[in-house]
């Protein structure tokens, strides 16, 4: 088979794989439906919450199904756990209440014809009153100013490679290879530039966690916007997909923990600096309008979106989905902490050390959120069990810049297509109407 055809097939398969990862949760034959008794899922402190449980097959209630349910503060040990048989396919349970701002979660599991199904719902108690536990170091701003100054001295040494198989009638697509953080270290990204001569706004797209191939946002670029989608690991983004899988299982498996005992050498330092270097690169492009630049991403990318805007005044707008790395020491204070859960049950014994706790203060998104000055679009759901809403609200509530939060209550660590479109439309409207 022709090598070009093989490469094209690999590219298409990668696109399909990514679309599955980013899509809404797949449909299942049997649905466990859990819902609080308030339509907006909001409660006041001390107000009791009830949860209605339904088991549906072909949209019809399944009778005589045994369910196991547990209720408690999100990410914490449940305060009640019980089972019941749903004789009519439905059950309403008393979930109790919360005296302090936070989230009360009901998880339900059912086994139907030998298959295990589960779902959850989360009642929000005065989330706008949640305060962070993250501590702000006195030298937080000087620490990052020093890092930015050092990085600015390193030549970008830009190397652009056209990717003809990805170009369209309206957009040229390149892989950019840029020097970042230290001499010899590289930052890779997929750049999409409208072919029509002119000056365009730009959107920096920062990645979620993991190690994977990036394909660039061609669709958004075709709307008249330069897009630059970066990776964070200093490796090419056009390798065989199997290479990324191997790296994720081996050398980069636990990258989020690398050098956590040293704030100057922690893995995310060069990641944060890479986001700034990506903006340096966008500003160097002759097609960029020189003013209108936004950053967007979800999860780890949501965190990097906030961090980048806090560190670089050249960013004018942000759109952040379910940001990670928020209020990282939450578990040490008896409540949910943000991904990657350094101090949760799995990693607490290994990470609960003075030097590691100290390092997290310099990388906690809460402390960057305090410095935000640009308008932001934010969106997440109450059912997120990767980036707990408690941690996200802890960051959101300290933001003093103009902000809009779009809550899609039932979503977990995923988005609806309509949710993504809302953010894209918001960004394009902002970028194209400002001078």
Write out pLDDT tens, residues 274-309: 999 999 999 999 999 999 999 999 999 999 999 999
* Residue keyed to tokens 């962070």: 132
Cα dihedral: 202, 208, 209, 213 (round 10): -70
Is residue 434 very low, low, confident or very high in pLDDT (cuts 50, 70, 90)?
A: low
Q: Where in the chain is the domain with CATH 2.60.40.1930?
A: 30-129
Interior angle at CA 80, CA 390 and CA 352, nearest 5: 45
Q: Report whether pLDDT(364) > 90.
A: yes
Q: Report whether pLDDT(6) > 70.
A: no
Q: Report whether pLDDT(315) > 60.
A: yes
Q: Report whether pLDDT(21) > 70.
A: no
- Cross-strand pairs, 116: 111
Mean pLDDT of the 217-245 span? 96
Phi, psi of 225 (to 5 degrees): -135, 135
In tens, the pLDDT along 164-197 reads 999 999 999 999 999 999 888 999 999 999 999 9
Q: What is the DSSP string of 84-145?
A: EEETTSEEEEEEE--SSSEEEEEEEEEEETTEEEEEEEEEEESGGG--------TTHHHHHH
- Which CATH architecture is the domain 140-433 placed in? 3-Layer(aba) Sandwich (3.40)
Look at residue 435 in the predicted model and tell me its pLDDT: 54
Q: Report whether pLDDT(372) > 50.
A: yes
Q: Is 413 a catalytic residue?
A: yes
Q: Report whether pLDDT(14) > 50.
A: no
pTM equals 0.93
Choose the catalytic residue: 299, 312, 327, 341. Answer: 299
Is residue 15 very low, low, confident or very high in pLDDT (cuts 50, 70, 90)?
A: very low
Choose the catalytic residue: 217, 364, 384, 424. Answer: 384
Q: Is 327 a catalytic residue?
A: no
Choose the catalytic residue: 364, 379, 413, 424. Answer: 413
The Cα–Cα gap between 162 and 190 comes to 10
Q: Report whether pLDDT(10) > 50.
A: no
Q: Are 395 and 135 in contact (CB under 8 A)?
A: no
Q: Report whether pLDDT(18) > 80.
A: no
Interior angle at CA 136, CA 134 and CA 140, nearest 5: 135
Fold of 30-129: Immunoglobulin-like (2.60.40)
Mean pLDDT of the 335-349 span? 96
Q: In what order do the strands lie in the sheet with 186-194?
A: 159-162, 171-179, 186-194, 226-230, 200-205, 288-298, 317-321, 376-380, 403-407
Q: Is 299 a catalytic residue?
A: yes
Q: Where in the chain is the domain with CATH 3.40.50.1820?
A: 140-433
């Amino acid at each position: 088979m022709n090598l070009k055809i093989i490469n094209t097939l690999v590219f298409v398969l990668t696109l399909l794989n990514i679309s599955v990862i980013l899509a809404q949760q797949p449909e299942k034959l049997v649905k466990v439906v859990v819902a609080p008794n308030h339509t907006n899922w909001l409660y006041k402190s001390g107000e009791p919450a009830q949860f209605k449980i339904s088991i549906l097959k072909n949209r019809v209630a399944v009778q005589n199904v045994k369910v196991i349910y547990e209720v408690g503060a999100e990410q914490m040990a449940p305060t009640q756990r019980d089972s019941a048989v749903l004789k009519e396919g439905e059950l309403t349970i008393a979930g109790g209440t919360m005296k302090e701002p936070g989230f009360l979660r009901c998880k339900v599991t059912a086994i139907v014809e030998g298959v295990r199904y589960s779902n959850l719902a989360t009642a929000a108690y005065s989330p706008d009153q949640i305060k962070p536990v993250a501590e702000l170091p006195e030298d937080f701003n000087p620490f990052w100013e020093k890092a930015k100054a050092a990085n600015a001295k390193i030549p970008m040494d830009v190397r652009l490679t056209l990717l003809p198989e990805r170009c369209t009638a309206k957009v040229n697509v390149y892989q950019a290879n840029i020097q970042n953080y230290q001499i010899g270290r590289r930052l890779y990204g997929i750049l999409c530039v409208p072919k029509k001569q002119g000056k365009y706004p730009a959107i920096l797209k920062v990645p979620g966690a993991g190690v994977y191939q990036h394909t660039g946002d061609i669709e958004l670029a075709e709307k008249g916007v330069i897009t630059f989608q970066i990776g964070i690991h200093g490796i090419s983004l056009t390798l065989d997909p199997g290479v990324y899988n191997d790296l994720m299982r081996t050398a980069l498996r636990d990258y989020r923990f690398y050098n956590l005992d040293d704030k100057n050498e922690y893995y995310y330092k060069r990641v944060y600096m890479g986001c700034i270097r990506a903006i340096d690169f966008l500003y160097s492009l002759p097609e960029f309008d020189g003013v209108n630049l936004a950053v967007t991403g979800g999860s780890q990318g949501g965190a990097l979106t906030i961090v980048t805007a806090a560190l670089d005044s050249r960013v004018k707008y942000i759109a952040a989905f379910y940001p990670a790395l928020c209020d990282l020491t939450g578990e040490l204070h008896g409540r949910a902490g943000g991904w990657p859960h350094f101090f949760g049950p799995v990693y607490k014994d290994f990470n609960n050390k003075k030097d590691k706790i100290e390092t997290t203060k310099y990388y906690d998104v809460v402390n960057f959120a305090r410095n935000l000055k640009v308008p932001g679009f934010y969106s997440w759901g109450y059912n997120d069990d990767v980036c707990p809403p408690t941690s996200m609200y802890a960051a959101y509530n300290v933001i003093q810049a103009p902000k809009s939060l779009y809550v899609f209550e039932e979503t977990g660590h995923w988005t609806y297509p309509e949710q993504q479109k809302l953010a894209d439309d918001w960004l394009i409207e902002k970028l194209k109407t400002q001078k």
